[in-house]
Structure 1
Amino acid sequence: RAERRLAELLDERAGLDRQERADADLLHEAEAWLEGWEETRTALQTRVDTAQRAAALAEQLAERREPAQQRLRAARMRDQLAQDTDRAVDRVRTAQDETLRAKQHWLELKEQRLNGIAAELAAHLTDGEPCAVCGATEHPDPARKVAGHVDREAEEHALTAYQRADERCAEDERRLAVVREALAAATAEAGDSPTEQLAREAAELEEQYAQARSAAAELHAAQERLRQAGQEHERRLAARQETAVRTASRVGHRERLDRERAALEEELDRARGALDSVAARAAQLERRTALLTDAADTARVAEDTAQRLKDADARLADAAFRAGFETPQAAAAAVLDNAAHRELQHRLDAW
């Protein structure tokens, strides 16, 4: 049992040594990790700070994006409206020229008709009938139609053409006013900056915004990584503390095991003697015990035999005394040998 307990102690001691080595590895790993904690934390915090700044910048740029795009759209509209204005001005000028020509044509026809209206009236004169203009009844030299005579229909047709041209000119002028108003509004919104410059600035703003958003997208991951690192830091600290506690606990446990082991080894040394094991010593003692038991049995048999001899001697002495002999030796001396005994038997038989 002592040897079994000693084996258990050795196994337990070996287990403590394995735990010691495992804790030593764990402690070394924890110390190595904790040694770089500040650098790791600083790097992770820098990532978080950078992402936060990028997020703030992205918000600022987002507020500028729409105005910049709107200004760029206004500038492009301004340029388009400027071209439309030029075309509208050309159309108005053309319409004004056409209106002026139509008006001049109408006035010319009107003047020609006024000049030729006497011929028209003379065509209806009759001798003896009063003139519708002067009332005279005699018409010695009435006016006559000449080549290119303009009648009322031609004049009215020219007037209609002039009025239509004037309406078209007025419509073109109205459209020009609308375009100029839109151009003024677009210019007020876009300013005087060239469209190419505004487009370049808007593109740069979009690029900055995209970069800021991309950097800001790392914020959650950076915060999560910092949180996980903080948890790992706490776990490593706890592991180091637990390792120290276990190490201190093993010191006392190891000392108790060593004391018990020393006591058992001393006990086993005494129990084994010069032999290799307690089992061999036990076998030796069992053999000695068997020999002693045999010796004791032999002694008891000898003692019993001696007692029986003593009892037999007493009975023999008593028998010899009753037979009239003083001692058993005297009785034995009187005992006949075989030959004498046979002779005595023959005499008795003969008698």
Structure 2
Amino acid sequence: MSQSVEVKAKKLKDLRKVSDEDLKSYLKEIGEKPFRAKQIKEWIWKKSAQSIDEMTNLSKTTRERLQQDFVINAVKIDHSQKSTDGTIKSAIKLHDDHLVESVLIPTDSRTTACVSSQVGCSLSCKFCATGYMDRARNLDAGEIYDQVVAVHNQSMEHFDIPLSNIVYMGMGEPLLNYKNVLDSVERITSPDGLNMSPKRITISTAGIAKMIKKLGDDQVKFNLALSLHAANDQKRDKIMPINETNTLDALRDALNYFYKKTGNKITFEYILFYDFNDSIQDAKELYEFWKRVPARINIIEYNPISEANYQKADEHTLDKFSKYLTDRGVNVHVRKSRGKDIDAACGQLANKKS
């Protein structure tokens, strides 16, 4: 019987979800030394083992016994596409055959992994392809971690440089999968894991005020990005239904609370839609909101999707909009989209094959 069939038949527990203490107790029960638990955890989180068979400093007998009770539900790359600009989008198959997407974004100086936190999304943002999908389930910490490892391996294979940054800006709303997202960050940043700096990690949210405050209470070390896209409630309600229960005033208070508690960087992400949120009046409203929250602003060009009728603002409008802000001392970065030709750009992730 294959391991996958065994998993379905016996519903073996994912070894990555077993606590250190429970693993030590299990090892004692099967006659193994408790220090083997540390070796197993090193294989899982430091060496990114995809199977129990890879744990070669364990005896064959121990590995076979572990396989009777546990499995590692590692993800696999189902297929990948490479953009003309070097961006690589991968469809990641989970153990239950669900698919999510991860993106490797290379520049001259670094590579960034854009990872997913949910299968689909429940927030229904009108401009985002993932928002038109149903949310099937949350990803667990190991599945998020695996995406980072997979993208790092692609970075080494294609560009010969290690992964330098991670953004939780793929499919799903990270703050609606709070525990698994924070657990994945812990594994990625821990010296016993991938040992990446939390300052190189950014988690993006559509704006859930109480969870932003919880991030502050939990004293997280990573950076936070808010998908803002409009600085008045009427417009934001139209494109982001979450705003109806998480108004701009509530978000402002939550962001200031987060900053006071952590001192971490905050970024406003602002997609410029033609004839919707691209006027000087819109820029003024964004400036007034920015004055009350310590943040920088990323202006993003819109990437059209078949499900929505929005169009991107023209270059002249974009220049005027950003100039209004920079003239007033705002730290503005105009972010050009990457991977548009393979539907890998911001807002386009929806498990579409070429």
Global fold match (TM > 0.5) = no
> Which is richer in strand?
2
Structure 1-normalised TM-score? 0.13
> Which is richer in helix?
1
Structure 2-normalised TM-score? 0.13
Bigger Cα Rg: 1
